[in-house]
Structure 1
Amino acid sequence: MSVLIVIPARYASTRYPGKPLAELRGASGTARSLIERSWQAANAVSGADRIVVATDDTRIRDACHGFGAEVVMTSPDCVNGTERCSEAHAALGGEFEIVVNLQGDAPLTPHWFIEDLIAGLRANPAAEIATPVLRCDGATLNALLADRQAGRVGGTTAVFGADHSALYFSKEVVPFTGTTWADTADTPVFHHVGVYAYRPQALAAYPGWPAGPLEQLEGLEQLRFLENSRQVLCVEVQARGRQFWELNNPEDIPRIEAMMAAMGLE
C-alpha cells in the first residue's frame, strides 16, 4: 500500500509569520530551520514511498531545495494543511493509497508515531482518517493548562469513544479535570499530535466541503471531517521516553530546544 508523506508549510501564519523558517538549535548548538527538522523527521519514517513539502511561498521552496527536499507548489488559497495536502496529492497524480500530513510545526514527532498511525489506518477499513493521540503525563497537562491561563494555545486535546473514533478535538483542555497533577502521573487527557493519515477519497472530498461552525470557532481543520460525519480514528501512541511539543508560538522555541538538548537530538 503506497504511502506519500506531505509536509504542508506556509509563510503567512497569523500567529507566527515565517514560522517554517524559524531556527531551532539542537544539542550541539547546530541551527536548522523548523521545516528542515520536520523533513528530517519524515525521512526517519519506515515505509514511506515519497516525501514532499507543499508550499505556496518561494522563500520556503528555496530553503527546502537548499537541504535537498522535493517541493510541490500549491495555491495560496489553501486555507489549511489538509487542503494543501489534497492539492499536492492531486498534482502528483492522486495515486497513493495513504497520504500522511506531517505538519511542518512538529519537528519532535518520532517516526513510530507515524508508523503506528499508518498501521492503525490499514487495520481499520471503516476509518477514513487517522490521527495520533498521546496520553498526557502530569507535567504536559500542567503545561497545557498554564498556556491556556496565559492566553496562549499550547496544544490541542482529543476525546474519543470506546472504539477510538474521535468525538471532539479542542484547543481547550478537555475533558475538564479540575485539578493539577503530579508531573509523572497518568492523566485522562490526550494530547492530539498534529499528524494525519488519509484515504485518498476522503482527502479529495475535503476541499469541497464548506468549513463548519466548529472548525471556524476552534480553528482546527480535522473538525471538518467530524462535521461531515466521517470517521476519524484516534491511534494512541507511546512516547517511549521522548518528549513531544509543537511549535505554535515564538515562546515555544526555548521549550523545544531544551527538549532537544535533553534528548541529545542534533
Structure 2
Amino acid sequence: MSVLIAIPARHASTRYPGKPLAELTGATGVTKSLIQRSWEAARAVPGDHRVVVATDDARIRAHAEAFGAEVVMTSPDCANGTERCAEAAAALGGGFEMVVNLQGDAPLTPHWFVEDLIEGLRADAGAGVATPVLRCDGRALNGFLRDRSEGRVGGTTAVFDAARHALYFSKEVVPYTAETYADDAPTPVFHHVGVYAYRPEALAAYTAAAPGPLEALEGLEQLRFLEQGRAILCVEVEARGRQFWELNNPEDAPRIEAMMRDMGMP
C-alpha cells in the first residue's frame, strides 16, 4: 500500500490571505512561491509516494499545475488541513497505508522528518496519528517567548508521556520553565512541527466528529484527536543543523528567507 503526501493549501487564510502564493527568495536569489517550496520539500521524501496539492482555490490550482504539481480540488467548507487531506484521499479513491499532511506553510521541512514520521507510525500499533516534535534550544525558546510577549502566535509546543503519546499541544509555551538558557543549550520545551501521518481509520473518525472545546480555543486541529481519546505519537526528530520555521504571519517571511540564506537553500 502506498503513502499519500497531501499538501493542504487555501487562499482565504484569516491571518495571512493568499499565503500559499507568497514568494520566498532563497540563497541564490531564486524566488518561488510558498506552495512550490512546500511541494518540493514533499517531493524530496525518499520513496514511491504520491504527492498532491489539496486546495479549494482556482488560483492556487493554476499556479501549482504550472510548476508540475498534481492538484486535488476540495471543498471550501473544510475547516482545517486534516479535513482537507481526508477529502483529498477520498477523492483519490482511498486505499492508502497512511496519509501524510505536509502543511503548505512549512517549506523548510527536512525530508527526514517525514521519513521518521512514517517509520514511527508503522512501529506503534497503538497510535492512529504521528507528528514530529523538535527539542527547542535556548534561541528557539526565546523566539517563542518573544512572539507571545508581543502578541504574535509563533510556534506550537507539545508535551507527551513516557510512551511519547501526546498529552497536549498549545500555542502557549508549555511546559512552563523559569530557567533561562543559552542560545545553544537544550531546553525542556518541544516545538511541534506541523506535519502529520494518519492511519485511514483515524482520519475517517476525525472527519465524522465535531470539533471539541479545546480545538476551538487553541485553534489546533490535532486536539480533536486527543479529545476523541486517540493516541498521537510524538516522534522526536533531529534538526541535523537545519533551521526550521513555519510561515504563520507576514513577518515570518524575512525570517524564513534568512534561514534559507544561512543554509544555502536555493
TM-score class, shorter: over 0.9
* 1:48, distance to aligned residue in structure 2 (A): 4.2
Partner of 1:177: 177
3-state SS, counterpart of residue 36 of structure 1:
helix
> Identity, % of aligned pairs?
75
* 1:218, distance to aligned residue in structure 2 (A): 0.1
* 1:118, distance to aligned residue in structure 2 (A): 0.2
CA distance in 2, matches of 1:19, 1:98: 27
Partner of 1:18: 18
3-state SS, counterpart of residue 216 of structure 2:
helix
3-state SS, counterpart of residue 4 of structure 1:
strand
Partner of 2:252: 252
Structure 1 residue runs of 4+, over 2 Å off? none
CA distance in 2, matches of 1:17, 1:178: 36
Matched, 1:119 2:148: no
Matched, 1:5 2:1: no
> Retained in 2: the 8 A contact 1:5–1:48?
no
* 1:49, distance to aligned residue in structure 2 (A): 2.1
- Could you say what the CA RMSD is over the residues aligned between the two structures, in angstroms? 0.7
Partner of 1:195: 195
3-state SS, counterpart of residue 126 of structure 2:
coil
Question: Structure 2 counterpart of 1:101, which letter?
Answer: N
3-state SS, counterpart of residue 84 of structure 1:
helix
Partner of 1:92: 92
* 1:207, distance to aligned residue in structure 2 (A): 1.2
CA distance in 1, matches of 2:175, 2:248: 21
* 1:222, distance to aligned residue in structure 2 (A): 0.1
> Retained in 2: the 8 A contact 1:4–1:48?
no
CA distance in 1, matches of 2:224, 2:29: 40
Question: Structure 2 counterpart of 1:140, which letter?
Answer: A
CA distance in 1, matches of 2:16, 2:49: 31
Q: Deviations over 1:96-138 (max 9, x none)?
A: 0110000000000000000000000001111100000000010
Partner of 1:229: 229
CA distance in 2, matches of 1:60, 1:218: 27
* 1:206, distance to aligned residue in structure 2 (A): 1.0
Aligned length: 266
Partner of 2:164: 164
CA distance in 2, matches of 1:13, 1:204: 25
Question: Structure 2 counterpart of 1:52, which letter?
Answer: V
Q: Deviations over 1:65-100 (max 9, x none)?
A: 110000000000000000000000000001101100
Partner of 2:261: 261
3-state SS, counterpart of residue 125 of structure 2:
coil
CA distance in 1, matches of 2:48, 2:202: 20
> Retained in 2: the 8 A contact 1:24–1:253?
yes
> Retained in 2: the 8 A contact 1:156–1:191?
yes
CA distance in 2, matches of 1:94, 1:44: 23
Partner of 1:141: 141
Partner of 1:72: 72
3-state SS, counterpart of residue 64 of structure 2:
helix
Instruction: Please list every run of 5 or more consecutive structure 2 residues that lacks an aligned counterpart in the other structure.
Output: none
CA distance in 2, matches of 1:150, 1:251: 13
Partner of 2:155: 155
> Retained in 2: the 8 A contact 1:130–1:234?
yes
3-state SS, counterpart of residue 105 of structure 1:
coil
Instruction: Please list every run of 5 or more consecutive structure 1 residues that lacks an aligned counterpart in the other structure.
Output: none
> Please, what TM-score do these two structures have when normalized by structure 2?
0.99
Partner of 1:29: 29
3-state SS, counterpart of residue 143 of structure 2:
helix
Q: Deviations over 1:189-214 (max 9, x none)?
A: 00000000000011112111010000
CA distance in 2, matches of 1:77, 1:33: 24
